Structure 1
Amino acid sequence: MKRQSIYIFLFFFLLLSCSSKEEVDVYTPIPASLKVPEIFQQRLIAPLVPTNNPLIEEGISLGKKLFFDKILSKDNTQSCASCHDPKRAFTDETRFSDGVNGQFGNRNSMPLFNLAWNFDERFMWDGKELSIERQAFAPVRNPIEMHSDWKNVAKKLQDHAEYPTLFKKAFGTTKIDSVLVTKAIAQFERTLISGDSKFDQYLLKKVDLTPEELNGFNIFMDETRGDCFHCHGSDSNPLWTDNKFHNNGLDATFTDLGLGKVTGDPNDNGKFKTPSLRNLKFTAPFMHDGRFATIEEVINHYSEGLKQSSTIDPLMKKVGQGGVQLSDKDKADLKAFLLTLSDNNFVNNPDFQE
């Protein structure tokens, strides 16, 4: 009887030990929220965070690590940050970014910020990706970018010394696949928020603009002069983009169909996503194909370089005259205003650096 009692005691001891171990293995992720700038709180609706990928501290941290890790590429030489440099507002300085094989595409790398306010949920210059998660999925298997495959990437991450534990903390599993990888990267990308430029401070009545900057803003908002605000936002839309697609008079004929190739609708040919005007100080070259090296060249295009085509946007009202025909003084002042949209704190934010 005494021996039987000992066995029963040992049984319950082992049972309690196993239960304690299981409790230790259970990890509860910490919910996170986006740091919404004051000007966005005043003038924009709440950002979009999908219910199937809520923000958690561990997911954001994991996404950041993956964003900067070259393990995602075929030969471990390229990361997301290779084409999306934090110091350049998450784009790069080349017209066409090169991939692991030294190949070049025909598109300029888009900057990454304020993505959680893209309510149309169309990403990339041509709108082919319908969520941030899907946008993060594409470069790994693109032959002119990372040129890998997701099975290989998942295996490398699975065999890594750290990643299985990090995925366990973020998603409750050590089984790594492309869905969880892109969810983590998307969580990090949603935190990339830029809303602290000189013009933001001006709207908050914390600083003044120079006479040149103020005149540039007035030109931007004037339908008879700059007429920029319809596509590129305003003091009421501090995203400085409508997140829509337009043919802005770059070409008379199209070698790149843009949105038209995605939708199959010829009325969409030559239409590309309106980029935000934030951080132009850091994001040259400009346009979907990086054809303009400077802000001056962009202004000259709208002033006297517009080209007529079958799908030209109706907002390009002065295409018949080649553009809005700005004076040299107005061009200089418009540039001065555009530079007030640069957010130095964003490109230097340690939360976004490797």
Structure 2
Amino acid sequence: MNRAFSQALLVLVLIFVAAVWPRPSGQVRLNLPEIRYRYSLVELPAHFTTPAGNTDNTPADNPITDEGATLGRVLFYDTRLSANKTKSCASCHVQANAFSDPKPFSSGFQGAMTDRRAMPLVNLRYYQRARFFWDERAGNLEEMVLLPIESRIEMGQHLDTLVRLLSRDTVYPSLFERAFGTDEITVKRIGRALAQFVRSMVSYQSRYDEGRALAASPREDFENFTRQENRGKALFMRNCASCHMKQGNEHFFVPTPANTGLRGDSPWADGGVGDVTLRVADLGSFKSPSLRNVEVTAPYGHDGRFATLDALIDHYSENAISDPNLGYVVPVGPLKFTASEKAALVAFLKTLTDRKFLNDPKFSNPFAE
């Protein structure tokens, strides 16, 4: 039997027969579709491809491919990435919550708790600075995805040990070959595959996006919005868009970390970015996640202090405090919204929820329970 035929036969076996290995968490069988899900060349709305919206941080040497993101998906849900096989990336980044954790802090592989909440992973591809975590300590997404694996709190796995573990597996070498051309498994390739999968997590089918497609400008009333939602959008454009839609960017990121006047943090119990840069001016500053799918990413803030959207808006409305490092997010203090204005803002923010993204099978757990 020649080598080419053997390889072809192996691929067919992997497609039609689910790969099986024992898993402490109850994951038993890997189920991947015969025709791979489409992760690359996804047709995006026009407001994602304008000069303001095209802030893609994908590096030239790691473009999203269907096979690479498929491998990344398998790795993302595999509990063997943790030292005791109890935690996967998905343990703290839940699809139904826009790949955030619904708890303020996450439990690590040995039960210890993280000191910050797990950030949503939605639309990270479009964070132009391409620095990640609340304190932006990771210089790119390929670096970010590996750090929790090695964390003594989160997953506790040695990357060299992980490479040996996956290399001995009956399925992973083939997945790596399909993704990268050879079956060699390296730390760099693990990072690249995970980064491809995370970059493919693009949310673009919310009611906001549907309305935006019919409007010449985001500031116009949207035909598919209620009166309250359009009022909330107008309030957002006047009071919030200068930060969350900087220069017309509709990914709803704040483009740089900022100090937002959180109570109880002076003198900066958690220094945030300042603890990384060692600059006094950065103390108390944090990266902000995208507002897309914000309805399902509670609790809010780096420490989960805001349990609801109402509480989050109350902070900016009444409770932002003076701080020597106060950022441009609240440059003039509390915004003093009325109760009806707060309700309208919440109604608008809920239009950013993308139910298709939250239930898309291509982002789901590929392991049958």
Distance 2:147 2:286 in 1: 18
2:229 — aligned with what? 213
Name which of 254, 259, 263 aligns with 2:277. 263
1:181-330 aligned within 5 A: 181-205=190-214, 207-222=223-238, 227-233=239-245, 236-251=248-263, 252-319=266-333, 323-330=334-341
For the pair 1:335 / 2:346, whether they are aligned, the reply is yes
Distance 1:109 1:166 in 2: 28
CA contact (8 A) 2:294 2:349 kept: yes
Distance 2:145 2:92 in 1: 13
Shift of 1:295: 0.3
Name which of 5, 30, 40 aligns with 2:48. 40
Shift of 1:171: 1.6
Distance 1:271 1:19 in 2: 56
CA contact (8 A) 2:100 2:120 kept: yes
Count of residues in Structure 1 that have an aligned counterpart in Structure 2: 329
Structure 2: which amino acid aligns with 1:230?
Answer: S
CA contact (8 A) 2:142 2:192 kept: yes
Shift of 1:318: 3.0
Name which of 334, 358, 365 aligns with 1:347. 358
Q: Kindly tell me: are residues 159 and 296 of structure 1, through their superposed partners in 2, closer, same or farther at Cα, counting changes over 3 Å? A: same
For the pair 1:99 / 2:108, whether they are aligned, the reply is yes
Distance 1:19 1:111 in 2: 44
2:164 — aligned with what? 155
Please report the RMSD computed on the Cα atoms of aligned residues, expressed in angstroms: 2.3
Structure 1: which amino acid aligns with 2:59?
Answer: P
Taking structure 1 as the reference length, the TM-score comes to 0.87
Q: Kindly tell me: are residues 149 and 204 of structure 1, through their superposed partners in 2, closer, same or farther at Cα, counting changes over 3 Å? A: same
Shift of 1:352: 0.8
Distance 2:278 2:139 in 1: 16
Structure 1 gaps of 5+ residues are: 1-16
CA contact (8 A) 1:201 1:207 kept: no
Shift of 1:32: 6.5
1:72 — aligned with what? 81
Distance 1:234 1:49 in 2: 20
Structure 2: which amino acid aligns with 1:342?
Answer: T
CA contact (8 A) 1:232 1:241 kept: yes
Distance 1:68 1:24 in 2: 27
Shift of 1:207: 4.2
SS at match of 1:273: coil
Structure 2: which amino acid aligns with 1:208?
Answer: N
Shift of 1:47: 2.5
SS at match of 2:233: helix
SS at match of 1:308: coil
For the pair 1:141 / 2:155, whether they are aligned, the reply is no
For the pair 1:115 / 2:124, whether they are aligned, the reply is yes
Moved more, 248-257 or 231-240: 231-240
Shift of 1:173: 2.8
Structure 2: which amino acid aligns with 1:41?
Answer: T
Structure 2: which amino acid aligns with 1:298?
Answer: L
Q: Kindly tell me: are residues 170 and 301 of structure 1, through their superposed partners in 2, closer, same or farther at Cα, counting changes over 3 Å? A: same
Distance 2:65 2:175 in 1: 12
Distance 1:75 1:256 in 2: 30
Structure 2 gaps of 5+ residues are: 12-35, 215-221
Distance 2:106 2:198 in 1: 19
Shift of 1:176: 1.5
Shift of 1:201: 1.1
Distance 1:309 1:195 in 2: 36
For the pair 1:165 / 2:174, whether they are aligned, the reply is yes
- Matched residues, percent identical? 35
Q: Deviations over 1:199-256 (max 9, x none)?
A: 111111284211111111111122xxxx211221179321011331000111342111
Distance 1:331 1:170 in 2: 47
Shift of 1:175: 2.7
Structure 1: which amino acid aligns with 2:251?
Answer: L
CA contact (8 A) 2:127 2:253 kept: no
Q: Kindly tell me: are residues 234 and 96 of structure 1, through their superposed partners in 2, closer, same or farther at Cα, counting changes over 3 Å? A: same
Moved more, 233-242 or 286-295: 233-242
Distance 1:304 1:333 in 2: 17
CA contact (8 A) 2:71 2:179 kept: yes
Structure with max Cα Rg? 1
Structure 1: which amino acid aligns with 2:337?
Answer: L
Distance 1:265 1:317 in 2: 20
CA contact (8 A) 2:259 2:329 kept: no
